[in-house]
Chain A
Amino acid sequence: MLQYALLTIYRSRLRVLLTSAGLGIAFGAVVFAYAIAAEIQSLSGVALDYVIRGSTIWVAPSPGPNVDPESQALAQHETLPPDIVEALVTRSQGRLWRLTVGIVEVAGHRVVLYSDDREQRGKNGVAISPALTSILLRQTSQINVGNQSVRVDETREGLPGFSIVAPYQLGTNLLQSATKVTWLLGNVPEPKQWAFETRKSFPVAVTDSAALGEPPSNEKTVIYLLQGSLSRFDPFTFGTKFSAFMLHTSMSTIFGWTARAVFLFGVILVVTSMSISVRERRAEVAVFSALGLLPEMTLLLFIETLLLLILVIPIGACVGAVMAVAYLPKYDVGSSLVASLALTVFFLPVTSIIAALWAGQTIAGRKDVDLIRGGV
């Protein structure tokens, strides 16, 4: 069987050579694409970590803030109730706060980022809970306002819904959940503590939502409160942080999916190549069929594919690895070799099996008489 396969490859050596060149470069492209994805995720993770290291991140599920999609500002923030404005002015030691607000969609969540441009640094901001008719500023005893820790109990009554505020910290690349929600705001008798859980990154779910009285709607809102750094030695403005945050999530996702897509295209190219080569060999398939050797034909196709890929894929992996090391700024030889090896170990059997099965199925789907007539 092996000899027959080798003979077949030798007989059509020019075609095999061209196919091999195509497949080799395709696999090189797969390795290179994965290297680019890994590198950009790593670099952007570092940049992101640097930009918002130590920031406190606040998470508030539904009903979410009311944001004007055009101006990207919290709706009606101009019409804060006068008593709250007055309280703010008092508590921030006479300084008016200017809120910088932006909204993005991440992982199906509406994400609102905002920063208070106080002329001081190192202070936490405030959580904003939206009302149906106006924005209400809610603070609990643990939130710093200006230079003071204050209690605001009088505004708890009459909130439109539930708004849970919890601190989250940014880990290496992901949001790490705090173990407990620290503050619960809303028209419930007493503030309680609720556990949150996070999945891989951004989705946040309330584990014990029934205890809130009614389950929150499916539309969760995540608010990340990023500390606007005002140090003159810090080159990052809030806008930079905001952009970096958005780009990090988007770029990581896009590059990750691109690498997977390139992998898929590589598999498709191998499979279609095998499928077409079966059509070319219909006379041979007809002879095998007439002799009752169709299962052996499928095995033969598998061996041929495997031989071809074993010859081609290591070369492609080397090409991809060399290009990754040469073109990517921080990609070292070790990482490149490990990635190439891992992709080869995965790609080789997967494509061989799929291509052979596909070709075998093409043959098996035809009747003997069609095969003998040459109608594969």
Chain B
Amino acid sequence: MFLVNSVFIYAARAVARRVTLNSPVYASIAAATALLVVVLTLNSAIEAQGATLLGAAAARDFASATRLLALMGVFVGLLHIQLLIGRLMKDRIGELRLLVSIAATPSVVFFVLMVENLMHASIGWAIGTLGVLLVLVSLTATMNNVMLPTIASLCGISFGALGIAVFSVAIPTIVSIWGVSLESRLMIDRI
């Protein structure tokens, strides 16, 4: 329990210390999340009401087009967030080495980084999702509830986006900690 508390405090401090410095990362995660939420919401809207306006066949075409667009958004988001988080990890390579050298086990370092990166992902996700949510709610008000059926599915879409953000930070974290621990072991072997 003490270890868990310590890890959370360490991670929270590390995140708080670098909020300004990491703002491009948050902006990027927010943009990727917002892109995903917007496109999936649009897909939901088309599937729900497109047939009335465009006819069933055209609506099906548009629904598959928006699904493809969402897939592109997922891919871009995954790639971009991984790159950014990977760069963040690279920035802190010295700190990671130091942690390993003072006898923190790789699993503890991994835990610290996971918590920290989850915080990054959550901040970016919250900014992106809230922004889109506000826009969609205002659109709904303006458009006389035309988007209302899709607003209902927004929660699912938003949490799906969070899942993707978390997934995309997990990979570089694992790669980084694996690299660092391997490097540390090699260094120890050399000694």
Chain A residues within CB distance 8 Å of chain B: 15, 18-19, 21-22, 25-26, 28-29, 32-33, 36, 39-40, 43-44, 47, 103-108, 240, 243-244, 246-251, 253-255, 257-258, 261-262, 264-265, 268-269, 271-273, 275-277, 279-280, 323, 327-329
Contact = CB atoms under 8 A, between A and B. Distances in A.
A321 to B, nearest CB: 13
Given A261-B38, A265-B35, 12 more contacts: A21-B79, A32-B65, A40-B54, A47-B53, A105-B142, A244-B53, A254-B45, A262-B38, A269-B31, A271-B24, A273-B80, A276-B28
Nearest to B81: A22
B25 to A, nearest CB: 7
Given A36-B66, A268-B27, A247 B53 contact: yes
Nearest to B52: A243
B10 interface: no
A328 B65 contact: yes
A32 B72 contact: yes
A339 B83 CA distance: 30
A36 B65 contact: yes
Contacts of A29: 35, 69, 72-73, 76
Contacts of A268: 27-28, 31
A36 B62 contact: yes
B54 A265 contact: no
B34 A265 contact: yes
A43 B54 contact: yes
A26 B39 CA distance: 13
9 contacts: A18-B83, A26-B76, A246-B144, A258-B39, A269-B28, A269-B80, A273-B83, A276-B24, A276-B87
A254 B139 contact: yes
A239 B144 CA distance: 16
A182 B83 CA distance: 64
A277 B21 CA distance: 13
Contacts, number: 148
Closest 6 A/B residue pairs (Cβ) = A272-B28, A272-B24, A275-B24, A268-B31, A22-B79, A250-B146
Contact of A269 (B32, B38, B45, B64): B32
A258 B42 contact: yes
B90 interface: yes
A272 B65 CA distance: 28
A353 B65 CA distance: 31
Contacts of B87: 276-277, 279-280
A272 B80 CA distance: 10
Given A247-B49, A261-B34, A272 B84 contact: yes
B175 to A, nearest CB: 13
Contacts of A104: 143-144
Question: Which of B45, B76, B142 is most buried by chain A, counting CB atoms within 10 A of its CB?
Answer: B76
A272 B25 contact: yes
Contacts of A328: 61-62, 65
Nearest to A264: B31
Nearest to A15: B83
B58 interface: yes
A243 B143 CA distance: 12
Contacts of A261: 34-35, 38
A204 B46 CA distance: 30
Contacts of B161: none
Interface in B37-82: 38-39, 42, 45, 49-50, 52-55, 57-58, 61-62, 64-66, 68-69, 72-73, 75-76, 79-80
Contacts of B189: none
Contacts of B38: 258, 261-262
Contact of A276 (B25, B58, B62): B25
Interface in B121-170: 135, 139, 141-144, 146-147
A266 to B, nearest CB: 8
Interface in B63-112: 64-66, 68-69, 72-73, 75-76, 79-80, 83-84, 87, 90-91
B27 A33 contact: no
Given A36-B62, A269-B80, A44 B53 contact: yes
B151 to A, nearest CB: 12
